[in-house]
């Protein structure tokens, strides 16, 4: 062997990254904590004392002195809606900083000055992301929402629409505002009838004021009254996904599972981003099916077409993988409205579904025969979904397919036993409890709601999620432990979870959703090198500090993809 070949082999054997001088919580079976960790070729190479691990370093090894900081496995968000998070930055003119009608009008005046006359000016919703959007006039400095006259005064030559937010970012109702030019283009006047669960606010003369208040969680305004408004483009969605990926990495998240499903357009956006090597997080996404706008025969045909790339662990490239499908039960009235706009998906990023029981069973049987993982949102009707799954299982066994009960918000002892018997994985969003009076009857349920402890005790795999509000898994961990209702200023019962259990639910158990638990999760040699460096120890800090812990580094496959000192903290505005 030549000296050059020997040198190349030595360099190849060097760790690419060493983190030392802190606390590394491996979250292995014994919950071992060590001082240092080394990574090479995308995997954990070694863990141990500082002396042991630093002895492995070579001339090309990047060494980071933790200076007492804490390393934990990378966070796994089981339901992030990353695409929607990104659209909060790319879906129109930002007014997030505005506290008053006057400030909103000033922004629109500036937009009008740089927009050709006659072109639309569309803004993002009133209020601030991720969960401080306006729903009550008391939130506005003037004690009222803007109206068409306010907007006419600053943009008389442009149609203007202030978009409503997505319904799960805030409390109902969802306000939107249009000026007179926009009302004329949309054909809205005193004779216009109010659509399903939308109030057209009128003045003393019964004329529309330009304010619309919607009580559908999935907004329909731009389908039923303002379908003339420019829609989100593929470029908007691609830019949104790119932005969201950076924000997600900065939050210490290394893997996500988009179990609510994504449309083919968004799957393509992720695919392109991954091909460009610009995806700093592992994204696993189910296909969203347009069941509200398609017959069962057509949906089954789509399933058969997609099955080769979706079955089992799915198919993908570097950091993006398509896997499984999503079915859903929700408001059929909203589904009929949104189906008219197919394939447009507005804020959602997925197709709205409201399957009747016979359709849920029929499509579930078809998916099971194709050996597809199926995710279904159970927060609306857990009993109906379980009955459907049991009917499907009687025809085609599903217990080995890792079907997912998404957003488990309440479950009886009997229902939890059935979840276990069906081999389901449960995803839970503890953050829902922060608005318990507005979410799934959680305040009335109290200690019985968000039953993480009961699910774990029954042996049901549980993964925590954010739903993107906010996008911090540290916040989800805090919510799971504190169970805090911010409106009522009280805890909704005791969590009966240890800190370590809660941290596992945020980092380890989610990998079962993607069939990766044998190669991702604990920080052990041979496992992939996904971890996060935290400024404080989530197992030791005061509970009140948990959600505020800073992420200093995020490491994906042994490479630093986020450095707070270098990259700063991304902001969605």
560 in a domain, yes or no? yes
pLDDT of residue 572: 57
Rounded distance between C-alpha atoms, residue 1 and residue 310, angstroms: 46
Model confidence band, residue 256 (pLDDT cutoffs 50, 70, 90): very high
Q: Of 184, 201, 231, which residue constitutes the final position of a domain?
A: 231
Say whether pLDDT at 569 is over 90.
Answer: no
Say whether pLDDT at 236 is over 60.
Answer: yes
Q: For 388-402, how does the pLDDT look when each residue is reduced to its tens digit (9 = 90+)?
A: 999 999 999 999 999
Say whether pLDDT at 152 is over 70.
Answer: yes
pLDDT of residue 508: 98
Say whether pLDDT at 168 is over 80.
Answer: yes
Say if residue 208 is in the same domain as residue 293.
no
31 in a domain, yes or no? no
Weakest mean pLDDT among 17-21, 142-146, 437-441:
437-441
Q: For 494-540, how does the pLDDT look when each residue is reduced to its tens digit (9 = 90+)?
A: 999 999 999 999 999 999 999 999 999 999 999 999 999 999 999 99
Q: State the average pLDDT for the chain.
A: 95
Rounded distance between C-alpha atoms, residue 519 and residue 43, angstroms: 9
| DSSP strand pairing (70-73 vs 23-25) | parallel
- Return the closest-CA partner of residue 42 out of 518, 522, 508, 527: 527
Say if residue 391 is in the same domain as residue 540.
yes
* Mean pLDDT confidence for 53-65: 97
pLDDT of residue 13: 80
42 in a domain, yes or no? no
36 in a domain, yes or no? no
Distance from CA of residue 179 to its chain's centroid? 33
Exposed / middle / buried, residue 427 (Cβ in 10 Å: 0-12, 13-18, 19+): buried
Say if residue 257 is in the same domain as residue 367.
yes
Q: Which two tokens stand for residue 423?
A: 């081999």
67 in a domain, yes or no? no
* Mean pLDDT confidence for 229-249: 96
Model confidence band, residue 4 (pLDDT cutoffs 50, 70, 90): very low
The CATH number that applies at residue 276 is 3.20.20.140
Phi, psi of 313 (to 5 degrees): -75, -5
Rounded distance between C-alpha atoms, residue 70 and residue 420, angstroms: 34
- Return the closest-CA partner of residue 303 out of 287, 315, 314: 287
* Mean pLDDT confidence for 338-344: 95
Say if residue 397 is in the same domain as residue 461.
yes
Buried b (16+ CB within 10 A) or exposed e, 160-180: bbbbbbbbbbbbebbbbbbbb
Locus of tokens 């069962």: 296
pLDDT of residue 317: 87
Q: Of 181, 206, 231, which residue constitutes the final position of a domain?
A: 231
Say whether pLDDT at 191 is over 70.
Answer: yes
Say whether pLDDT at 12 is over 60.
Answer: no
469 in a domain, yes or no? yes
431 in a domain, yes or no? yes
| DSSP strand pairing (23-25 vs 17-20) | unpaired
Phi, psi of 434 (to 5 degrees): -70, -25
Q: Of 213, 231, 249, which residue constitutes the final position of a domain?
A: 231
Say if residue 227 is in the same domain as residue 239.
no
Model confidence band, residue 367 (pLDDT cutoffs 50, 70, 90): very high
pLDDT of residue 500: 98
* Mean pLDDT confidence for 216-228: 97
Say if residue 120 is in the same domain as residue 147.
yes
* Mean pLDDT confidence for 443-466: 97
Q: Which two tokens stand for residue 371?
A: 């050996």
Say if residue 471 is in the same domain as residue 431.
yes
Distance from CA of residue 188 to its chain's centroid? 35
Say if residue 321 is in the same domain as residue 452.
yes
The CATH number that applies at residue 103 is 3.10.310.70
Q: Describe the chain by its helix, strand, coil percentages, rounded to 5.
A: 35, 20, 40
460 in a domain, yes or no? yes
Give the residue numbers spanning the domain of 498: 77-81+235-567
Say if residue 378 is in the same domain as residue 441.
yes
Say if residue 226 is in the same domain as residue 298.
no
Percent above pLDDT 90 for the chain: 95
What's the structural domain count of the chain?
A: 2
* Mean pLDDT confidence for 550-559: 98
Say if residue 297 is in the same domain as residue 218.
no
Say if residue 209 is in the same domain as residue 281.
no
pLDDT of residue 2: 33
Say whether pLDDT at 7 is over 90.
Answer: no
């Amino acid at each position: 062997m030549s000296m050059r070949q020997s040198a190349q082999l030595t360099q190849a054997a060097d760790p690419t990254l060493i983190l030392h001088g802190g606390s590394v919580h491996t979250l292995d079976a014994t919950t071992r904590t060590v001082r240092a960790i080394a990574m090479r070729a995308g995997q954990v190479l070694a863990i141990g004392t500082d002396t042991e691990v630093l002895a492995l370093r070579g001339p090309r090894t990047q060494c980071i002195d933790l200076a007492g900081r804490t390393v934990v496995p990378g966070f796994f968000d089981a339901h992030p809606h990353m695409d929607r998070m990104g659209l909060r930055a790319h879906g129109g003119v930002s007014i997030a900083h505005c506290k008053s009608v006057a400030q909103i009008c000033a922004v629109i005046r500036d937009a009008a000055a740089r927009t050709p006359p006659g072109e639309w000016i569309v803004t993002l919703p009133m209020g601030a992301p991720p969960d401080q959007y306006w729903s009550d006039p008391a939130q506005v400095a003037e004690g009222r929402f803007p109206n068409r006259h306010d907007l006419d005064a600053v943009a008389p030559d442009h149609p203007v629409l202030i978009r409503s937010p997505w319904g799960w970012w805030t409390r109902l109702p969802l306000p939107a505002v249009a000026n007179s030019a926009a009302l004329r283009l949309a054909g809205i006047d005193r004779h216009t009838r109010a659509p399903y669960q939308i109030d057209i606010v009128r003045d003393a003369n019964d004329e529309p004021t330009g304010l619309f208040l919607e009580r559908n969680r999935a907004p329909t305004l731009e389908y039923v009254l303002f379908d003339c408004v420019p829609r989100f483009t593929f470029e908007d969605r691609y830019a949104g996904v790119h932005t969201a990926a950076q924000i997600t990495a900065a939050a210490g998240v290394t893997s996500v599972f988009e179990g609510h499903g994504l449309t083919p357009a968004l799957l393509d956006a992720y695919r392109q981003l991954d091909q460009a090597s610009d995806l700093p997080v592992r994204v696993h996404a189910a296909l969203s099916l347009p069941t509200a706008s398609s017959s069962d025969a057509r949906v089954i045909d789509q399933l058969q077409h997609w099955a080769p790339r979706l079955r089992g662990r799915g198919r993908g490239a570097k950091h993006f993988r398509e896997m499984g499908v999503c079915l859903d039960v929700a408001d059929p009235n909203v589904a009929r409205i949104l189906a008219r706009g197919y394939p447009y998906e507005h804020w959602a990023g997925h197709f709205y579904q409201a399957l009747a029981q016979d359709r849920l069973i029929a499509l579930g049987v078809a998916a099971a025969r194709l050996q597809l993982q199926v995710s279904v949102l159970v927060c609306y009707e857990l009993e109906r979904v379980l009955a459907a799954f049991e009917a499907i299982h009687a025809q085609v066994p599903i217990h080995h397919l890792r079907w997912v009960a998404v957003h488990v918000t309440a479950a009886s002892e009997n229902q939890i036993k059935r979840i276990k018997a069906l081999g389901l994985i449960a995803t839970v969003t503890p953050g829902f409890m922060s608005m318990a009076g507005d979410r799934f009857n959680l305040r009335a349920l109290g200690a019985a709601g968000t039953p993480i402890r009961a699910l774990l005790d029954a042996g049901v795999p549980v993964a925590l999620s954010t739903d993107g509000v906010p996008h911090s898994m540290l916040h989800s961990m805090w919510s799971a432990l504190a169970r805090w209702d911010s409106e009522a200023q009280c805890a909704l019962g005791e969590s009966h979870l240890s800190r370590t259990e809660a941290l596992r639910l945020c980092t380890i158990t989610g990998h079962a959703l993607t069939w990766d638990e044998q190669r991702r999760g604990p920080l052990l040699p041979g496992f992939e090198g996904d971890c996060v460096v935290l400024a404080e120890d989530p197992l030791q800090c005061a509970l009140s500090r948990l959600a505020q812990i800073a992420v200093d580094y995020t490491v994906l496959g042994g490479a630093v993809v986020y450095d707070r000192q270098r990259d700063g903290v991304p902001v969605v505005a």
